[in-house]
């Protein structure tokens, strides 16, 4: 019984690996998703630069 369970576990792990590999092949990041991330990166960077500039003005 425990042997069956361990064999099921191993087979499901193999199947899972195939599912993930297949999924990665068929689902690459889209241009829209990359663009959304670039927008966040730009906003974050601009915000940080503004804070740094303010702090520089305050201190000197």
For residue 17, what are its two tokens?
Answer: 């690996």
Interactions with another protein, residue window 1-40 (CB under 8 A): 4-5, 8-9, 11-30, 32-34, 36-38, 40
Rule CB under 8 A: is residue 55 a binding residue for another protein?
no
Q: What is the DSSP string of 11-44?
A: HHHHHHHHHHHHHHHH-PPPHHHHHHHHHHHHHH
The residue written with tokens 């927008």 in the block is 39
37 vs 50, which CB is nearer to another protein? 37
Residues lying near another protein in the complex (CB under 8 A):
4-5, 8-9, 11-30, 32-34, 36-38, 40-42, 44-45
């Amino acid at each position: 019984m425990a042997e069956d369970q361990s064999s099921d576990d191993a087979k499901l792990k193999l199947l899972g690996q195939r599912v993930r590999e297949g999924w990665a092949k068929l689902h690459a990041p889209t241009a829209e998703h990359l663009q959304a991330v670039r927008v966040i990166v730009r906003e974050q960077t601009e915000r940080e630069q503004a804070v740094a500039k303010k702090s520089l003005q305050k201190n000197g």
